[in-house]
Amino acid sequence: MASLAILGSTGSIGRSALDVVRLHRERFQIKALAAGHFSDLLCSQIREFSPAAAAVRDIDGARELKKLFPALDVRSGDEGVASLGGFCDITLLAVVGVAGLMPALNAVRSGKRLAIATKEALVAGGQIIMAEAQKNGAEVLPVDSEHSAIFQCLAANGRKSPEEVASLIITASGGPFRGRKLEELEKITPSEALEHPVWKMGKKISIDSATMMNKGLEVIEASRLYSIPGEKIKVLIHPQSLVHSLVEFRDGSQLAQLSLPDMRLAIQYALTFPERWNSPLERLDLAEVGKLEFFPPDPVNFPSLALAYRALSEGGVAPAVLSGANETAVEQFLKGRISFNQIPRFVEKKLDAAPRIPSPTLDDIIMADRFSREPA
Ligand SMILES: NC(=O)c1ccc[n+]([C@@H]2O[C@H](COP(=O)([O-])OP(=O)(O)OC[C@H]3O[C@@H](n4cnc5c(N)ncnc54)[C@H](OP(=O)(O)O)[C@@H]3O)[C@@H](O)[C@H]2O)c1
């Protein structure tokens, strides 16, 4: 039986992960849960799974939790949440944003498995996370469906030699505004942008999908996870979201992974790899689907993707600045303070002004993240 810490347990990925645990109760033990705030949902998760420890970022929320569950090891603040990284055999990291960086580092420093959904942590500090994982013999398993697909295609090839890989092809649904022009996008409201055509996700990633920054973050995430340069990572719009990504090999062969869009599949694989366990999830019937479509991305009306490629090629702290500036701009958009098209404009201004630090330390990345959040 593997012990499991789910950080971000009340979010979209966290709840799906607990669904996977419910399907395999005899094989997983939830030993730790973490969330941003005290909530009824967190309390009901604690009652259902009886973890030994729980962390809440909000310090007052942690006090309330301790009152309700006196025997629980309750931790608080960013340090409390981070301390649960590496607490169990597997850390499933699903907090949103750069808040995932320290929990991810603690998880890989423990030499255990990190199943990572928090792409912002890999974008900001991916090189440090992967180097620490290698040093400490930790496994980093992707939860993002595209990266899980790539992982599975590489595994199918035996993961022997990286030079056999010609390119990674990351698919994207295109979000709710595929085909729209910049003038139309200017008037988009937060509630329109939160309506994703395929996936039901947290607010931040839903907006990132609408701007296509999500795909940009995924390009950087893939580069960090698989040590592949940006020039070998392509993006392909695929509105049906059934082909989750592809790998092209040097002989021209392309391998793809397909399934119905359900994050529980990628989550389960990250927890059970190298085994595949049964799953009651609905199966893909290609005859019923009939048609799969693919298009190139639209760089003119969705400039965020190009900004992510730029940050990846600049290297240093540029990806951390891109991600932090984007996080800030998305928050401002959700509060109605800036327009949809101002999100990439803010990110671009921050990238233009970012310090050039070729081999950043963790402190440099934290400093760059702070810089990225100051007004442009
Ligand atoms: N949703 C998807 O389908 C999907 C797919 C691939 C990758 N991802 C990635 O997975 C991550 C989570 O996405 P999501 O959609 O699940 O987000 P979400 O629904 O907004 O959930 C975020 C979770 O993180 C917690 N949290 C937020 N800030 C925290 C902090 N500083 N410390 C501790 N916990 C914190 C939240 O707690 P409270 O509820 O108490 O605030 C909540 O449990 C993101 O990085 C996203 O890009 C998501």
Tokens describing residue 47:
């009652």
- DSSP for 249-288, written as a single string: ETTS-EEEEE--S-HHHHHHHHHHTTS-----SPPP-HHH
Is the separation of the CB atoms in 105 and 126 below 8 Å? Answer: no
* Terminal-residue alpha carbon distance, the chain: 50
Residue with tokens 């799969």: 292
Amino acid at 277: W
Encode pLDDT of 343-362 as tens digits.
999 999 999 999 999 999 99
Q: Could you tell me if 119 and 154 lie in one domain?
A: no
Q: Could you tell me if 155 and 92 lie in one domain?
A: no
Encode pLDDT of 220-265 as tens digits.
999 999 999 999 999 999 999 999 999 999 999 999 999 999 999 9
C-alpha of residue 205 to centroid of ligand 1, in Å: 9
C-alpha of residue 107 to centroid of ligand 1, in Å: 17
**Ligand 1 atom nearest 145 alpha carbon:** 6
C-alpha of residue 164 to centroid of ligand 1, in Å: 35
User: How, if at all, do strands 254-258 and 243-249 pair?
Assistant: antiparallel
Is the separation of the CB atoms in 296 and 236 below 8 Å? Answer: yes
Domain extent, residue 12, equals 2-142
Q: Could you tell me if 126 and 214 lie in one domain?
A: no
Among protein residues, the one with the nearest Cα to ligand 1's atom 8 is 117
Encode pLDDT of 166-189 as tens digits.
999 999 999 999 999 999 999 999
Round the average pLDDT of the chain to a whole number and report it: 96
Q: Could you tell me if 81 and 224 lie in one domain?
A: no
C-alpha of residue 230 to centroid of ligand 1, in Å: 26
Residue with tokens 């994050």: 263
The set of protein residues with a Cβ atom below 6 angstroms from ligand 1 is 8-14, 34-37, 39, 57, 81, 94-96, 99, 117-120, 144, 199, 201-203, 205, 263
Among protein residues, the one with the nearest Cα to ligand 1's atom 22 is 11
What pLDDT is recorded for position 159? Answer: 64
Q: Could you tell me if 155 and 251 lie in one domain?
A: yes
The helix (run of H) or strand (run of E) holding residue 53 is strand 53-56
Q: Mean per-residue pLDDT for 19-36?
A: 97
Tokens describing residue 248:
């092209």
Q: Quick check: is 84 in a domain?
A: yes
Report the SS3 class of residue 46. helix
Among protein residues, the one with the nearest Cα to ligand 1's atom 6 is 144
- State how far the Cα of 203 lies from the Cα of 210, in Å rounded to an integer: 11
Q: Which of 75, 108, 142 is the last residue of a domain?
A: 142
- Paired residues of 258 in beta bridges: 243
Q: Quick check: is 159 in a domain?
A: yes
C-alpha of residue 217 to centroid of ligand 1, in Å: 15
The helix (run of H) or strand (run of E) holding residue 25 is none
Pocket perturbation via mutation, ligand 1, pick of 12, 56, 141, 206 by most ligand atoms within 8 A of CB: 12
Q: Quick check: is 91 in a domain?
A: yes
Q: Mean per-residue pLDDT for 69-95?
A: 98
C-alpha of residue 157 to centroid of ligand 1, in Å: 32
Q: Quick check: is 48 in a domain?
A: yes
Q: Which of 77, 111, 142 is the last residue of a domain?
A: 142
C-alpha of residue 66 to centroid of ligand 1, in Å: 23
Q: Which of 262, 286, 306 is the last residue of a domain?
A: 306
Q: Quick check: is 269 in a domain?
A: yes
Q: Could you tell me if 165 and 274 lie in one domain?
A: yes
Q: Could you tell me if 49 and 152 lie in one domain?
A: no
Q: Could you tell me if 127 and 170 lie in one domain?
A: no
Q: Could you tell me if 179 and 211 lie in one domain?
A: yes
- State how far the Cα of 241 lies from the Cα of 94, in Å rounded to an integer: 21
Q: Quick check: is 152 in a domain?
A: yes
Among protein residues, the one with the nearest Cα to ligand 1's atom 41 is 36
Q: Could you tell me if 167 and 255 lie in one domain?
A: yes
Q: Give the chain's domain count.
A: 2
Instruction: Report the candidate in 5, 7, 199, 200 with the shortest Cα–Cα distance to residue 94.
Output: 7
Q: Quick check: is 318 in a domain?
A: no
Q: Could you tell me if 244 and 221 lie in one domain?
A: yes
CATH number, position 137: 3.40.50.720
Encode pLDDT of 295-341 as tens digits.
999 999 999 999 999 999 999 999 999 999 999 999 999 999 999 99
Report the SS3 class of residue 76. strand
User: 75: exposed, middle or buried (C-beta count within 10 Å: 0-12, 13-18, 19+)?
Assistant: buried
Half-sphere CA count of 14, side-chain side, radius 13 A: 22
pTM, rounded to two decimals: 0.97
